[in-house]
């Protein structure tokens, strides 16, 4: 029997490292990135409807210190442009599902921060609709559907720790040496991802550093991965922050002073995360941090999605 209601925890991701290669003929760039699911999650519930898909979005404060600017909410569309709604429709269309669903989304993952919030919601909606109608699609099929929605959606479905190659959709699982915690700081400014890629093109960034970066990334699969080691891949987008570059450098310095290690941009930004040592209390770092940025304490997670059903 198919469930009446499905509830999915959709976790955010960090890119522990992210290298960008040359632009491909299809306009996308070759990537080599270490994806890591983290504990911060949106919650999506889906209920069966006779037909049609609808979405309701509620924002819930999840920061451990500070708050996001109110304007951040406006960047999550509630209508047909929302990636979750597009994912639900795509799943129903491809799986031959005639019925519809009402989706309720509780947003906690900051938007446009490089934490994969929209992709996590899309992965959750896709999985929820299939579960709601009891349709089994093999993992490879779900990943392919995810890739149609966005470069980060396959990882949101895959979850855990993984190396992302190609557009980011070719995934290889990585083995994390140990769970870890991180502090994520979300500035008030945001980054446009397509613009950041254009800037990398102008810099011809990929052409010089890419081959060595790709070799480094591919070698990570051979070992139990130390999170600190993965950050040595760097993040190409740190080089194209333009007038925000100084803000970024300053934020990294304040995070280090507060007690976190190896601060890095995640995705194309603007969030910056730093690793918490095993014996460093999160509270101490939160209290010591000097600045108005919203701070989130997260743990590495072994899965991207957790799905629960109610009959």
Q: How far is the CB of 13 from ligand C5P (least distance, A)?
A: 12
Question: Using the rule CB under 6 A, is 25 a contact of ligand C5P?
Answer: no
251 token code pair: 């934020």
Q: Which is nearer to ligand C5P, 17 or 150 (CB)?
A: 150
8 Å CB contact between 42 and 78: no
Closest distance to ligand C5P from the beta carbon of 103 (Å): 20
Residue 168 lies near ligand C5P (rule: CB under 6 A):
yes
d(CA 274, CA 103): 34
152 interacts with ligand C5P by CB under 6 A: yes
- The nearest distance, CB 116 to ligand C5P, in angstroms, is 9
Nearest residue to 29 (alpha-carbon basis) of 234, 270, 239, 196: 196
The binder of ligand C5P chosen from 53, 155, 197, 248 (CB under 6 A): 197
Q: Of 304, 271, 306, 308, nearest to 11 (Cα)?
A: 304
| Residue closer to ligand C5P, measured from CB, 147 or 186 | 147
By the rule CB under 6 A, 274 interacts with ligand C5P: no
Asked whether position 29 contacts ligand C5P by CB under 6 A, the answer is yes
In the complex, least distance from residue 148 CB atom to ligand C5P, rounded to whole angstroms? 10
Tokens of 158: 């895959």
Sole window of 48-56, 68-76, 189-197, 242-250 interacting with ligand C5P (rule: CB under 6 A): 189-197
Say if CB 178 and CB 166 are below 8 A apart. no
Q: Determine if 88 is a binding residue for ligand C5P (CB under 6 A).
A: no
- For ligand C5P, which residue of 32, 129, 151, 225 counts as binding (CB under 6 A)? 151
Regarding 170 and contact with ligand C5P (CB under 6 A), the answer is no
Indicate which residue of 13, 42, 121, 213 is catalytic: 13
Closest residue to bound ligand C5P by CB: 151
Annotated catalytic residue 13: yes
Q: Return all residues near 243 (Cβ < 8 A) that are at least 6 apart.
A: none
For ligand C5P, the closer CB: 114 or 160: 114
Note whether 150 binds ligand C5P by CB under 6 A.
Answer: yes
Residue pair 166/31 in contact by the 8 Å Cβ criterion: yes
Total residues contacting ligand C5P (rule CB under 6 A)?
Answer: 11
Interface pick for ligand C5P out of 25, 138, 194, 278 (rule CB under 6 A):
194
The CA distance from 107 to 59, in Å, is 5
Q: How far is the CB of 167 from ligand C5P (least distance, A)?
A: 4
Question: Which residues bind to ligand C5P, rule: CB under 6 A?
Answer: 28-29, 31, 150-152, 167-168, 193-194, 197
Catalytic residues: 13, 152
């Amino acid at each position: 029997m198919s469930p009446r209601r499905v509830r999915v925890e959709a976790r955010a991701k960090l890119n522990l490292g992210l290298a960008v290669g040359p632009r491909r003929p299809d306009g996308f760039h070759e990537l080599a990135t270490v994806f890591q699911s983290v504990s911060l999650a949106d919650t999506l519930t889906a209920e069966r409807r006779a037909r049609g898909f609808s979405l309701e979005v509620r924002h819930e404060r999840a920061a451990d210190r500070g708050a996001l600017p109110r304007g951040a909410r406006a960047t999550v569309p509630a209508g047909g442009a929302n990636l979750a709604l597009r994912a639900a429709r795509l799943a129903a269309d491809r799986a031959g599902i005639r019925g519809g669903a009402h989706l309720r989304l509780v947003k906690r993952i900051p938007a446009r921060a490089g934490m994969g919030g929209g992709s996590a919601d899309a992965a959750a909606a896709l999985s929820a609709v299939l579960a709601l109608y009891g349709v089994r699609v093999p993992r490879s099929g779900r990943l392919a559907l995810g890739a149609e929605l966005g470069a980060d959606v396959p990882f949101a479905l895959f979850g855990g720790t993984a190396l992302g190659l190609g557009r980011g959709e070719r995934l290889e699982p990585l083995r994390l040496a140990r769970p870890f915690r991180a502090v994520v700081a979300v500035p008030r400014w945001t980054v446009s991802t397509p613009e950041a890629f254009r800037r990398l093109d102008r810099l011809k960034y990929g052409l010089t550093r890419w081959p060595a970066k790709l070799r480094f990334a591919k070698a990570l699969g051979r070992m139990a991965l130390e999170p600190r080691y993965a950050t040595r891949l760097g993040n190409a987008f740190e080089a194209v922050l333009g007038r925000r570059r100084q803000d970024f450098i300053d934020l990294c310095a304040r995070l280090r002073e507060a007690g976190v290690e190896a601060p890095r941009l995640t995705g194309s930004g603007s969030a910056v995360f730093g690793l918490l040592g095993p014996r460093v209390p999160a509270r101490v770092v939160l209290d010591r941090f000097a600045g108005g940025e919203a701070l989130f304490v997260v743990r590495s997670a072994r899965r991207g999605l957790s799905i629960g059903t109610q009959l």
